[in-house]
Amino acid sequence: MTTAHEPAITTKNLRRSFGKSHALDGFDMKVPAGKVVGLVGPNGAGKTTLLLILAGLLAPDDGTALVAGADPVEQPFEVHRNIGWMPDFFGVYDGLTATEYLDLFGAAYRLSVKERRDRAKELIALVHLESFADAPVHTMSRGQKQRLGFARAIVHRPKVLLLDEPASGLDPRARVELRELVRKQADEGASVLVSSHILSELEEMVDLVAFAEKGKCKGIHPLHDLPGAAARTWQFRSLDPAALEVALSAAEMSATFLPNGAGVVALKDEQEAAQLVEHLVRVGVPIVEVTRGGGGLESAFMAMDEGDRR
Amino acid sequence: MRALVVSELRQRIRGRRWWILLLLWFLVLLGLMLVIQNAAEQQAGFYPRRFREPPLGPSMFGSLTLLIVGLSCLIIPSLTSTSINGERDRGTLAVLQSTLYRPRDIVLAKFLAAMVVALTFLVLTLPLTWWCFSEGGVHLGRTIVVYAIIVLVLALMVLIGLAASALIRKPSLSAAAAYGFVFLLTIGSPILFGLLLLGAPDVVNGYERQVGWRWIILAPDPVVVLADAAPRAPRGPGVAVVSDPLESIREAVRDARRPPEVYNKRGRQIDPATGEVIEFDPFTGEPELKTSEPPALWPWGLAIDVLIGAGAAYLAIERLRIPTHKLATGERVA
C-alpha cells in the first residue's frame, strides 16, 4: 500500500527496445504521491513505452518499476486495481451508448450493478456528456470521446492516473476542461503522470515536470523552479540566414534554426535581447524581424533539447 | 464477465446485418428443404406399392443436418475470426486489458457471445426439423444426438476463429486462415484421405486398398463425426429407407475401418473370428450371417476435435497475456 511519503511510481533502470531502436534506455524516475507530474519530451523519447510498462501491459527488457506499491510485471492485475490508464490512441465501442460503455468498465473493476449505474451517471455529469448518456458513442466528436475515455479511466477511482497525450487533438476549450478534470483528480488525492509534447498545455496542469529524452529521464523539477524557466525564446529573422548563423555562433549563442532561416535563441531577459539586436545590426546582419517566443516550460524544454544536441 | 458478454452481443445485434443474415439463413434453408422434399418424394415413388410408402423424414432430416453444417462453415468462422485483432486495430483491446479482466475472461466472453449468435442460427432450424418429424420416420434420440454434435461443431468453428484472430495481426488474413482451417477439416480431410488411399498398398484381390491407420485422417471431419455418431434410425419390417445422406456417409466411413475380407481355400468368404462361411442372400446381396459392424470413428474424431478446440482456446488466451514480451513487427500494444 502506498503511504503519503512513498512515491506513487518508481522506476529503476527501465530498458525496452523494439528491434534496433531503444525506446527506453535506463529510465529512472520517482513520481511523488498526490502530485500531477508532466512527462515531457519529443516524439520518440519513450513516453508511451514508459506508460505501457507502468500500466502492466508491456514487459521491460530490464529494470524494475513499482506502481502504487505493486510490480507491473509480476502483479499486473494488482497494478490495474489501482491505476487508470488512458492511451494516446484508443477506440470506443461504437455500438454502445456512453452509459453502457462506462457500465462495462465499471463491471471490469467488479463494481456492483448499482455502483456501476451511479458511477456512470456521476462521471457523465463530470465530463459534461449528459446529452450523450443514451446516444451511441459513434455520434461523438473526438473531444467528447476523449472525455469519455477519461471518465472510463477513473471509473474505479484509481490512486494513480497514467494519461498519454490526453490533450492531443483537442480544441482549446476542451483542453481547459481536461486540465480542470485532471486537477480535480489530484485535489482528491490521486497521483497523475501525464505525458505531452504540447508544453504550454501542461504548464497550468502540473506540479512537477519530468523530462524524457532518448529513453532516459533528464530530471524532475517543480514547475516554479525549472532550470531556465525564467528565460524566454526570441526569434531573429534575417534577409541573410547564413550571415545570421555565422554571427550568432561567433557571439557564442546557442541557437536553433527554423525552416525559414530564423534563429531561435533562449535569452535571460529583455536587456539581453536588446543587446543581441544591437550586436547583430552592428556586425551587419540584415535583421528584419524580432519576435518574443513562448516562456517557461517551452524555453526550458528548448534549453534541455539544445544541451542534448550539442 | 456477464457485462462483457452483454456488451459484445449489444454491438452485434445493433448492426442491421445480423438480422438480415439470420433471415437469409432461414430462407435459404427453407428453399433448399423444399427442393429436397420434392426430390425425396420422387424417389419414394419408385418403390413398389406392396411396400408401405416409405417416410420422407430420415432423408429430409439427414439432408437438413448436412446443409446446416455446410452453411455454418460459411457463416460461423466470421463470428470470431476478426474479433481480437479487430479490437486491437480499433484500439479497444488494450483498454480492456488494462482493467481487471483477465485474458481468459476476454476470450470466454467472446466465445460465449459468438455461441449465443451461433445457437440463434441453430434455433432457427428447429421449425425445419419439426417439418422432417411430421414427414415421419425420424427418431427423437437420433435428432437430439445430431443437434448436440452440431453444437460442438459450432463451438469448434467459433474457437478456430478466435485463435486465428488472436494469433494473426491482420483481420483479413485471420479471417482467411480461419475459413481455410475449417475447410481443411471438412473438405480437405476426405480429399487427403482419398489421396493417401490411392498410394496405399493393395490387399489380396488387387481392388481393395489397405486403409490401415489412414482412417484417422477422416475421423475429425465434423461431417464424419456427425454422421457416425448419430444412432441408426430403426428399420421396421417393410420400411424401405429413402436414401439418407447421413446413413450413406456413416456406411462409407465405417467401411474404412472394416477389416479386410478373408476367404477360405475354396474361395468362399469366411468370418475371420469363427471361420464360418458367410452365405449371401441371392436377392439383396446382404450377408445372411450377421457380420459385426466395424468400429466407430467418431470417438476418435470427437476427441481430436475437442483437442483442437481446447488448443485454440489456449493459444488465444496465451496471446492475450500481459505484460507482453514480444511484439510482432509493426504491432502496437495500444
How far are the Cα atoms of A246, A276, A291, B11 from residue A250, in angstroms, in the given order?
6, 12, 21, 66
* B227 or B251, greater pLDDT: B227
In whole numbers, what is the pLDDT of chain B averaged over residues? 86
Number of Cα atoms under 13 Å in the Cβ half of residue B159: 20
Q: Of B48, B65, B47, B68, whose CA–CA distance to B57 is shortest?
A: B65
User: What's the pLDDT score for residue B290?
Assistant: 58
Q: Which of A95, A96, A105 sits opposite B99 (nearest CB)?
A: A105
The pLDDT score that the predictor gives to residue B53 is 64
How far apart, in whole angstroms, are the C-alpha atoms of residue B43 and residue B41? 5
Could you tell me the three cell numbers for A303? 534549453
Length of chain B equals 334
The whole-number pLDDT of residue A258 equals: 81
d(CA B87, CA B108): 15
CA distance B241 to chain A (A): 51
pLDDT at site A292: 76
Chain B interface mutation, best of A86, A92, A94, A104, highest count of B Cβ atoms under 10 Å: A104
Kindly list the residues of chain B whose beta carbon comes within 8 Å of any beta carbon in chain A.
1-4, 7, 10-12, 14-15, 87, 90-92, 94-102, 322-325, 327, 329, 333-334
Q: What is the pLDDT of residues A295-304, one digit of tens each?
A: 555 556 655 6
Radius of gyration for the alpha carbons in chain A, expressed in angstroms and rounded: 22
Q: How far is CA B70 from the centre of its chain?
A: 8
Minimum mean pLDDT among A123-132, B86-95, B280-289: which range?
Answer: B280-289
User: pTM, whole model, 2 decimals?
Assistant: 0.84
Instruction: Give tens-digit pLDDT for B101-148.
Output: 999 999 999 999 999 999 999 999 999 999 998 887 788 888 999 999
| A87 vs B3, B87, B95: nearest CB | B95
Residue type, A153: A
Contact B97 A57 (CB under 8 A): yes
The more confident residue out of B261 and A257 is A257
Q: Which helix (H) or strand (E) holds A289?
A: strand A287-295
CB contact under 8 A, B10 and A95: yes
Q: Is residue A296 within 8 Å of residue A39, measured between CB atoms?
A: no
DSSP B187: I
What is the C-alpha to C-alpha distance for residues B260 and A122, in angstroms, rounded to an integer?
A: 76
User: ipTM more than 0.90?
Assistant: no
d(CA B241, CA A83): 67
- pLDDT, averaged per 10 consecutive residues of chain A (310 residues), comes to 71 92 93 93 89 95 95 95 93 91 95 95 94 90 90 96 88 84 92 84 84 90 68 82 88 80 81 88 90 63 52
Taking contacts as CB-CB distances below 8 angstroms, the residues of chain A near B11 are 93-96
B227 pLDDT more than 80? yes
Please state, in angstroms and rounded to a whole number, the distance separating the CA atoms of residues B91 and B197.
49
Q: Give A267's strand partners.
A: A232
